[in-house]
């Protein structure tokens, strides 16, 4: 492939997975900036757990999301933790394993169906002035994983952004919805806007999420080779994107099951002709019947590990050739390739939180000394 052709292909590909810029339909306009639920002792350190899954006793083997989800009716006691314990849980560094789809405006799920409420508790809607912009994935109380192209070269004040969790219907946030502003946007330093390589970003939230039945972290692979040991049996994509190229966003969250496609196949001349790097992974169907589309940028490609009975975020929706085309599956940033980077950013967030708490603790100590 000559350089001119490569550049043209690059520029063409990068505009296919984000919501249409001036899309104002399906607005979400909650009345509070901090709708939340108390954290629970049982779920605080878990990731990717199938807590709401009702097993289908009539079938020996079913897809995890072919069975019904229903929020637990059991009353849970609010968790009360001290600052040091909270630090660990906020950053996902506690005793439990570390918790874990062009310019935005064009990215629904092609061939999908409506997701049941609470089916994907780690899915978030990243919004600009209450309008869906990109998707994202909760990996800890303070960190959301999304695509770099959702923020690169975007001239929008950070104060206009919000991250909405526990959401199923864009126009009707429920009682389980939590909204946070963004403290910091951490785009991968090697992100290439032309080739879409390293298309990942972490959002550091202004305040931590409270983990509930509707808001939970997904698991992330801890290293590159771990994918092969997790025994993924079913993979899904989910989002509010358009059902067809240049279509409208969906008001209700959609989901569809897809297949992981090996890099060699995806790089065939009739597919993506060598464009797929080792930092990318393809997923969909060869026929194109299941795919992410415009409005799905940054949203998760999540796979179920039978061995661990958990979901892992395997990819972050990046780009694709239009939507639902044969031999042109969705392309995702391969999460396992960024395991070290995610860990570094998580530890950095923990350090920043500790530094912020020190003056507050000193102030409390001085007040106590004055009262003695």
Q: Is 228 exposed, middle or buried (0-12, 13-18, 19+ CB in 10 A)?
A: exposed
The residue assigned the tokens 């909405």 is 164
- How far is it between the farthest Cα atoms of the chain? 78
User: Please, are residues 347 and 142 in contact by the beta-carbon 8 Å criterion?
Assistant: no
Cα(354)–Cα(85) distance, rounded to whole angstroms? Answer: 12
Minimal CA–CA distance to 332: which of 204, 232, 198?
198
- In DSSP notation, 255-319 reads EEEEEEE-HHHHTSTTTTTT---TTEEEEE-TTS-SB--TT-TT-EEEEEETTTTEEEEEEEEEE
DSSP state of 138: E
Cα(345)–Cα(336) distance, rounded to whole angstroms? Answer: 15
User: Please, are residues 146 and 203 in contact by the beta-carbon 8 Å criterion?
Assistant: yes
DSSP state of 149: G
Structure token digits, residue 67: 């069975």
Cα(23)–Cα(42) distance, rounded to whole angstroms? Answer: 40
List the catalytic residues. Answer: 149, 199, 297
The residue assigned the tokens 């001085």 is 366
Structure token digits, residue 120: 């994907």
3-class secondary structure, 192:
coil
Minimal CA–CA distance to 154: which of 180, 176, 126?
126
Tell me how long the chain is: 372
């Amino acid at each position: 492939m000559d350089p001119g052709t490569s550049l043209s292909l690059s520029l063409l590909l990068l505009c296919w997975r984000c919501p249409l810029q001036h899309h104002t339909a399906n607005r979400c306009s909650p009345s509070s900036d901090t709708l939340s639920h108390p954290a629970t002792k049982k779920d605080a350190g878990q990731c990717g757990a199938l807590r709401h899954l009702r097993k289908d006793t009539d079938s020996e083997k079913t897809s995890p999301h072919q069975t019904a989800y229903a929020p637990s009716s059991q009353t849970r006691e609010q968790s009360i933790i001290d600052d040091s314990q909270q630090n660990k849980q906020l950053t996902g560094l506690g005793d439990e394993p570390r918790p874990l789809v062009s310019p935005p405006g064009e990215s629904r799920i092609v061939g999908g169906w409506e997701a049941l409420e609470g089916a994907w508790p780690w899915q978030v809607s990243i919004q600009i002035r209450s309008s869906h912009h990109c998707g994202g994935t909760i990996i800890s109380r303070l960190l959301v994983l999304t695509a770099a192209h959702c923020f690169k070269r975007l001239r929008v004040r950070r104060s206009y952004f919000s991250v909405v969790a526990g959401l199923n219907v864009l126009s009707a946030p429920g009682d389980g919805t939590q909204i946070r502003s963004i403290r910091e946007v951490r785009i991968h330093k090697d992100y290439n806007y032309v080739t879409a390589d390293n298309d990942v970003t972490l959002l550091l939230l202004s305040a931590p999420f409270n983990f509930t039945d509707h808001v939970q972290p997904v698991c992330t692979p801890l290293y590159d080779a771990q994918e092969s040991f997790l025994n993924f049996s079913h993979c899904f994509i989910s989002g509010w994107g358009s059902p067809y190229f240049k279509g409208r966003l969906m008001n209700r969250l959609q989901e569809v099951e897809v297949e992981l496609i090996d890099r060699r196949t995806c790089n065939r001349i009739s597919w993506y002709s060598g464009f797929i790097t080792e930092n990318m992974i393809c997923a969909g169907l060869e026929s194109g019947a299941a795919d992410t589309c415009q409005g799905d940028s940054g949203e998760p490609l999540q796979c179920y590990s039978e061995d661990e009975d958990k979901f892992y975020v395997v990819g972050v929706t990046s780009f694709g050739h239009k939507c639902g085309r044969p031999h042109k599956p969705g392309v995702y940033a391969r999460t396992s390739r960024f395991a070290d980077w995610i860990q570094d950013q998580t530890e950095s967030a923990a350090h920043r939180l500790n530094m912020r708490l020190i003056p507050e603790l000193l102030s409390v100590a001085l007040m106590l000394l004055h009262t003695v």
